């Protein structure tokens, strides 16, 4: 694939732009490039490279200027990407995450989208959401696409406190807030599964390239699952249905 641009972050990092529009095509390009570059990094073929982070349309490579040169890294990455083909869901898992569709913004969204609360829940839950990137907060998944007609911008006045576990939509995407946080997206529901736990070997439950389907649950079932997760009777990893 073609490298659109290599954009420097001074002598600390360089961002490789691989697509221009958020969506499944960008995800396929970025996912394949991520896998390729992670392999090179692991093999020690990117001198000075420290780590990679993935965004919707780009990958940022952080490096140590005392151990490598950006010009050299860019040349190596450009060459590696030339024979890398985009690949959808190369190694993602499929998750089925419970969601109680009683979000604070459902009524507002229902009026705005001219759908009932139930229709919003049903259509959101029957969609397979692909994790495009993890960011903003530790473990927070940005997922797309939303069903047609679900297009809303951010709220004009962001909330100062969005509760932990909130499932929220805006700009064609869905997120789950791993922690209580300020936030400007429209809350449709709540997911009881903890997304970030430093006790786990891999602290983030979800990874870019994973897919997520939400299982609608009633309030009492949400509470029951939450309690079972709290006391360790349910392993969060058990919500992964299958590895591809």
Partner 1 sequence: MSARLVIARAGARSLLQDTGFRGGRGIGVPGAGALDRDALYLLNRLLGNDTDAAAIEIALVPPKLRAEDGPVRLALGPGLSGQVSGDNPRPVGAWTAFTLHPGETVDLRFEAGCPVALIGIGGEIDLAYALHSRSTLPRAGLGPFGRKLEDGDAIPISAPAADPGDRTFAAPPRPESGPLRAVPGPQAEWFTEASRETFFGAEYSVGIETDRMGMRLDGPALSHSERGADIVSDGIAPGAIQVPGSGQPIVLLADAQTTGGYPKIATVIGADLSRLARLAPGDRLRFTAVTVEQAEAAARDRRAELDQIAECVVRANAGRIDPRALWQANLVGGAVDALCPDHFPHHPEPESHP
Report the interface residues with partner 1, using CB under 8 A: 7-13, 15, 17, 20-22, 50-60, 62, 65-66, 69-71, 133-140, 179, 181, 196, 198, 202-204, 207-208
For residues 145 and 210, give the distance between their C-alpha atoms in angstroms, rounded to a whole number: 13
Q: List beta partners, residue 141.
A: 134
Helix H or strand E encompassing 33: helix 24-42
Provide, rounded to whole angstroms, the least separation between the CB of residue 70 and partner 1.
Answer: 5
Provide, rounded to whole angstroms, the least separation between the CB of residue 83 and partner 1.
Answer: 23
Q: List beta partners, residue 189.
A: 167
Provide, rounded to whole angstroms, the least separation between the CB of residue 37 and partner 1.
Answer: 11
Closest CA to 37 of 55, 51, 18, 21: 51
For residues 236 and 201, give the distance between their C-alpha atoms in angstroms, rounded to a whole number: 13
139 or 226, CB closer to partner 1? 139
Provide, rounded to whole angstroms, the least separation between the CB of residue 65 and partner 1.
Answer: 4
For residues 100 and 156, give the distance between their C-alpha atoms in angstroms, rounded to a whole number: 25
32 or 208, CB closer to partner 1? 208
14 or 217, CB closer to partner 1? 14
Structure tokens at 172: 């064609």
158 or 218, CB closer to partner 1? 158
9 or 75, CB closer to partner 1? 9
186-190 and 166-170 strand pairing: antiparallel
3-class DSSP assignment, residue 174? strand
Look at phi and psi of residue 219 and say left if phi exceeds 0, alpha if psi is from -120 to 50, else beta: alpha
Provide, rounded to whole angstroms, the least separation between the CB of residue 14 and partner 1.
Answer: 8
Helix H or strand E encompassing 58: strand 58-63
103 or 209, CB closer to partner 1? 209
68 or 216, CB closer to partner 1? 68
Provide, rounded to whole angstroms, the least separation between the CB of residue 12 and partner 1.
Answer: 4
For residues 70 and 87, give the distance between their C-alpha atoms in angstroms, rounded to a whole number: 27
Closest CA to 109 of 57, 79, 143, 149: 149
Residues in the chain: 244
Provide, rounded to whole angstroms, the least separation between the CB of residue 60 and partner 1.
Answer: 3
């Amino acid at each position: 694939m073609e490298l659109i641009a290599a954009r420097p972050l001074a002598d600390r990092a360089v961002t490789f732009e691989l697509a221009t529009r958020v969506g499944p095509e960008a995800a396929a390009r970025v996912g394949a490039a991520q896998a390729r570059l992670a392999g090179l990094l692991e093999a020690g073929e990117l001198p000075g490279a420290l780590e990679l982070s993935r965004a919707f349309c780009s990958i940022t490579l952080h490096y140590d200027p005392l151990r490598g040169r950006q010009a050299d890294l860019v040349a190596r990455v450009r060459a590696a990407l030339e024979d890398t083909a985009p690949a959808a869901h190369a190694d993602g898992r499929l998750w089925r995450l419970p969601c109680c569709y009683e979000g604070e913004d459902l009524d507002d969204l229902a009026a705005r989208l001219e759908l009932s609360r139930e229709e919003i829940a049903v259509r959101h839950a029957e969609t397979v959401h692909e994790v495009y990137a993890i960011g903003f907060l530790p473990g927070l998944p940005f997922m797309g696409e939303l069903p047609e007609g679900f297009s809303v911008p951010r709220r004009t006045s962001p909330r100062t406190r969005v509760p932990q576990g909130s499932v929220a939509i805006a700009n064609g995407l869905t997120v789950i807030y791993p922690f209580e946080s300020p936030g400007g997206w429209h809350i449709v529901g709540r997911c009881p599964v903890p997304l970030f736990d430093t006790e786990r070997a891999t602290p983030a439950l979800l990874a870019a390239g994973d897919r997520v389907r939400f299982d609608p649950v009633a309030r009492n079932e949400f509470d029951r699952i939450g309690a079972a997760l709290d006391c360790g009777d349910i392993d969060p990893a058990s919500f992964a249905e299958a590895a591809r």
